[in-house]
Structure 1
Amino acid sequence: MKITTLLMVLTLWLPGAFASNGPAVARVNDEEISALRFERYFAEYLEDQGRALGSIRNPKAYKQLRQKALDALIDRELLWQESQKRGVVISDADVSNQVEQMRTAMGGAEKFARRLEDAGFDEAGFAEYTRRELAAQQMFAELTKVAEPDEQAVRAFFDEHRSEMSQPETVQARHILVKVAQGADAATEEAARLRLVEMQGKIAQGADFASVARTGSEDASASEGGELGYFSRGRMYPAFEAAAFALKSGELSEPVRTPLGWHLIYLQNHLEAVDVSEAQGLEMVRAYLARQRQVQVRQQVLAQLRADNRIQRIDGD
């Protein structure tokens, strides 16, 4: 959790926190989740997703986000309660270590104490929050342990998908095209090249390549800012390909002549060929299958906790 967000939601786990701060939005067994607790968690939820409240213009999308945040907060409460049922104990040393990490991250004891005071909390309250957060995390980790993937399944998956793991050298590029018909006279040829050189100069002086492409390119990709996406060798005209693969990311080519006319190429990204060995491939598959299984188990565990406990959603947003 981000440090700034953590300070904002310090009271989420405190005993009886926000008991008198407006109506409850949900009830988990005998524990109420107050409106204030939920609003503070909703801010954390949006921050973790990289969303800003002001950027959510669609009422339906806003409501869906609130429901997802409430579900996540309920799951958090369920894990804490389950940790207490199962006797999970977080040692004082673990709490102290975690608090010390936070203190260091915030710039030392003085700044840490000032931030807590500004938020209306003391170190004892923060330590209690930390203990409960660690207990919930430990409970979730214990409930979602998964065995290593079966080696036969790993081998079968690897054999089926091996060709997809090795990738040829590819580049991602944009281009500007000034068309010149085959067999055009020298004057027409030079006029087209000079048009491209003029656009090259604008870009060199800071103009956005995509913007120049939209107004100056005669290729079908002009509306997309000259975007060509990723391509490997053998897909483009030889001269175009040679120029593109010779560039480094962020570089602009000199004018390039192909049967279509004159091109200016901007390289966005250059990916080297990837040749995955059998050992590397098998390890990648193990990690992938383990992640897949982990996701399934986490969903199952949370679904079971919801089914085994009394949950009442009161939030009407």
Structure 2
Amino acid sequence: MNLLKKLVITATCAAFAIAMQPLRPAFSAETKPAETKAAAAPAKPADQKAQEPAKGSPTDVVAKVGNTPILRSELNRAEAILMKQNPPQQPLTPGQQQQVNDYLIEQLTSAELLYQAGLKVEIKDLDKQIDDKMSQGKARFPSPADFEKALKEQNLDEKLLREYTRKEIIVNNYVEKEIVPQVKVTDDEIKKFYDENLTKYFSKPAQVKASHILIGVDPKADAETRKKAKEKIDNILKEVKAGKDFAELAKANSTCPSSAKGGDLGTFGKGQMVKPFEDAAFALKTGEVSDVVETQFGYHIIKLTDKQEAQTAPLEEVKPKITEYLKGQKVQAKVQDYLKELKGKIKVEKLI
């Protein structure tokens, strides 16, 4: 379980790897930390300068964890990563910039607290683990030049990346040995999550794949125009039933843009098409062709090319994923509890 990228150190460790290995909970909507929502909020053009990196020397101390300083260079680097992941639509206001700074300093100090705690936990073959992780990171790039380019984009060099990787491994080791063993997920919790999210995550509604031929008619068309359109679609239906190629007839006659693809509409579920069309499509068997169907758009002939019945994944099939997700949620909660405890023992100072 690569917990680190789900925890507070995400913004600082192995920065280039964040973009390459984003991890998201298996059953949750993708969300952003509340503090980072400012990054997507609109701002007035007059505030353009507020989006620029914080001024001052890279060696300025912006926070302290015990006697360990957090430098402005680390804050600026973390901000660059955050802005790359969540590009703001407009420049940040001064207030939004302060929110981002506060959020990042909280992440950086929390990461340092976990790292200091992790130094007290035994870890084997640390250098080998670092070498392996560095090699894996490099292997994800097409060439050494691409790897170097990615480092420069994050204001990193290989030495600094190695140090971040070292910290990442130490924190992961701490979490795995000190926190994960305390977390248990019961069968009742798994069943409860399954039942409460059955429709949202574990059920797949019925879907069909269909093609159609449309002879479009304006809803305001007169009776004569409608009659001619109906006669045309009736004649096309005769050709379909006589064995002529449906796709070719669609290309030659259909007034729907799908005619370019032989009338192919792709896959759709209930509620995505107008009711008469939907009812006719779902009533067909794979390979069948409908009679003429009238809708507000005109007259259709529908051919069903595939049909998938509604499905529900059984609990036993999804149990491992649910277990992993719930365990991850509990681990995150435990980490936050430990951070509160650590902050009670080690002085944390915010200096900007």
Offset of residue 31 of structure 1: 1.2
Distance 1:275 1:78 in 2: 44
Distance 1:179 1:65, change over 3 A: farther
1:186 equivalent in alignment to 2:224: yes
Distance 2:87 2:342 in 1: 31
1:154 equivalent in alignment to 2:167: no
Partner of 2:23: none
Aligned alpha-carbon RMSD (Å): 5.1
CA contact (8 A) 2:65 2:112 kept: yes
CA contact (8 A) 1:169 1:233 kept: no
Distance 1:103 1:243, change over 3 A: same
Partner of 1:211: none
CA contact (8 A) 1:169 1:271 kept: yes
CA contact (8 A) 1:24 1:34 kept: yes
Q: What's the TM-score once normalised by structure 2's chain length?
A: 0.55
Distance 1:192 1:79, change over 3 A: farther
1:52 equivalent in alignment to 2:52: no
Number of residue-to-residue matches in the alignment: 266
1:91 equivalent in alignment to 2:126: yes
Distance 2:333 2:294 in 1: 52
Q: What's the TM-score once normalised by structure 1's chain length?
A: 0.60
Distance 1:121 1:167 in 2: 45
5+ residue gaps, structure 2: 1-13, 20-56, 233-252, 261-267, 285-291
CA contact (8 A) 1:167 1:274 kept: yes
1:280 equivalent in alignment to 2:317: yes
CA contact (8 A) 1:233 1:241 kept: no
Offset of residue 27 of structure 1: 1.2
**Superposed, which structure 2 residues align to 1:19-34 within 5 Å?**
21-34=58-71
CA contact (8 A) 1:143 1:301 kept: no
Distance 1:262 1:125 in 2: 66
1:200 corresponds, among 256, 266, 269, to: 256
Offset of residue 311 of structure 1: 0.9
- Percent identity of equivalent pairs: 18
CA contact (8 A) 1:88 1:135 kept: yes
**Superposed, which structure 2 residues align to 1:1-317 within 5 Å?**
1=14, 3=16, 21-47=58-84, 50-52=85-87, 55-59=89-93, 60-86=95-121, 88=123, 91-106=126-141, 126-145=161-180, 146-158=182-194, 165-170=202-207, 180=219, 185-188=223-226, 200=256, 231-232=269-270, 237-243=275-281, 257-258=293-294, 260-262=296-298, 273-280=310-317, 282-283=319-320, 285-315=322-352
5+ residue gaps, structure 1: 7-19, 206-229, 247-255
